[in-house]
Amino acid sequence: MIYAVGMSESLTHIDEHGNAGMVDVSNKPPMRRTAVAQACFVAAQDTLDRVMDGDLPKGEGLGVARIAGIQAAKSVDRMIPLCHTLGLSHAGVTFHRHADDCIRIEASATVVSSTGVEMEALAAATTAALTLWDMVKAIDADLSITDVRLLSKEKTSLNAD
């Protein structure tokens, strides 16, 4: 078995010969799994005012970014080679004006499966941020995406007592 330095568990995506491969989760019981991720879209205050007001040259940005994020969550297995194909139960994207220069994007994904949905939530948040970038790049050249991270993940047994 191959072990990572400083870790007590084997690397699950690496076989005994060091080759990367998809993890077999067929022996794990299906559970309800939810993950929440975030990304912060940073732009000038005037730019973010226009985003929040739906006043952009390309149209209403938040709705387009929401759909792009949901679409990304549903497509993770095509973007990231070793991710499992999941039939999501839910994917959602919300936007919150966090500061004068930031819109906080929060994305969630839920599935009943033997594997988690962290990558789906992260893909939704970052894709929504990238979509906002595309929607405003004509009016603001000083953009950034920051604080991309997993906020939470949980799993619940389907065998409720």
Show which residues are catalytic: 134
Q: Which residue carries 């906002």 as its tokens? A: 132
Residues 6+ apart with CB under 8 A from 27: none
Q: Helix or strand or coil: residue 36?
A: strand
Q: CA–CA separation, 23 vs 104, rounded Å?
A: 33
The answer to whether 120 touches 34, Cβ cutoff 8 Å, is: no
Classify residue 54 as left (phi > 0), alpha (psi -120 to 50) or beta: left
Query: H or E segment at 20?
Result: none
Question: Residue 112 corresponds to which amino acid?
Answer: V
Instruction: Look up residue 43 and give its two tokens.
Output: 């732009």
